[in-house]
Amino acid sequence: MNFDAASPLSPVATAARLRAVIVDDEPAARRGVRLLLDREGGVDVVGEAATGLEAVELIRREKPDLAFLDVQMPGADGFEALAELDAATVPAVIFVTAYDEHALRAFEVSAVDYLLKPFDDARFFAALRRAREEIRRRQADQVNDRLTQLLDYLRHTRGPASAAPEDKSGDRILVKSSGEIFFLKADEIDWIEAEGDYMKFHVAGRSHLMRETMARLEARLDPKRFIRIHRSTIVNIDRLRKLSPSFAGEYAVILQDGTKLKLSRGYHERIAVLLKQAL
């Protein structure tokens, strides 16, 4: 299936532009890849190379997002070329070759895809979409790494800049989400749940993640405002609506917005104390 670069149905055409290099010792093969990229749109070809050694110099100079890389070339093959690059400069790679025996090795070096010549347009564009997904993932990881470093710096630096994350009353929480940093006021938070190595803050229908442990977060939050109802759940007391019987003596906690959360047996006593205070 061919995609028209001008068509709104083309998922690649509407995405962020990529910078790519084409490496193949056959000029016709390079030209074919370039024509397909031109037809699809969204990719700027920043250079071509005919040998493995040229590929190394080109990638080091241009630092592309993506490389279409032949396997067997004069001087150095595609794998040898990749081995010459620093990990930080290796782009997403789509191998384009007439030899199927290198496929396993291609995926051992984390290639995005392996195009076996001759291939049709649909197969090429499928590989390009996979490359876009991989590049977006890499970019998101880089942003998250930078934000994590920034958050760590803020948490360990004295002075006004660290006031928010180190606020012992838990009045403000500094979190990152989708490449941005948010300062959440405690009274904005509806509930919090553990998700792997992160805490997910639910705020007015949206969610934000912060790398933190449940125990450390609970210690920072104001116990008069937040209560833990499960080993992986903390709720804002002001958001509590009612307790609803579940089964076998268990209860569910219902929030003002209708969210239903499990009340673990081990935390019944905390809710009981809260109810006594309210009476």
Candidates 1.10.10.10, 2.40.50.1020, 3.10.180.10, 3.30.559.10; correct CATH number of 161-278? 2.40.50.1020
Please, which residues bridge with residue 211 across strands?
198
Task: Find the DSSP H helices in the chain.
Answer: 27-40, 52-62, 78-83, 103-108, 121-156, 214-220, 268-278
pTM more than 0.75: no
Q: Alpha-carbon distance 238 to 231, whole Å?
A: 20
Q: Please state, in angstroms and rounded to a whole number, the distance separating the CA atoms of residues 106 and 101.
A: 10
CA distance 213 to 198: 7
Query: 232: helix, coil or strand?
Result: coil
- 228/199 Cα distance (integer angstroms): 13
Cα angle value 266/269/272 (rounded, 5°): 140
Which fold, 18-141?
Rossmann fold (3.40.50)
Task: Write down the residue that tokens 């009981």 correspond to.
Answer: 272
Domain with CATH 3.40.50.2300 in the chain: 18-141
- Give CATH 2.40.50.1020 domain extents, the chain: 161-278
The pLDDT tens digits along the chain (279 residues) read 333 333 333 344 345 789 999 999 999 999 999 999 999 888 999 999 999 899 999 999 999 999 999 988 887 888 888 888 887 788 999 988 887 776 666 666 678 888 888 889 999 999 999 899 888 887 766 655 555 555 555 555 544 433 334 444 446 677 766 556 667 788 889 999 998 888 889 988 888 887 788 888 888 888 888 888 888 899 998 888 887 776 655 678 888 888 888 887 777 666 666 655 554
In sequence order, the 6+-apart residues with CB closer than 8 A to the CB of 22 are 30, 33, 34, 45, 47, 48, 49, 67, 68
* Nearest partner of 267 among 234, 241, 229, 231, judged by Cα: 229
Residue with tokens 């499928």: 126
Q: Tokens for 195, please give them.
A: 């998700």
- The DSSP call for residue 137 is H
Decide if 100 contacts 124 (C-beta within 8 A).
no
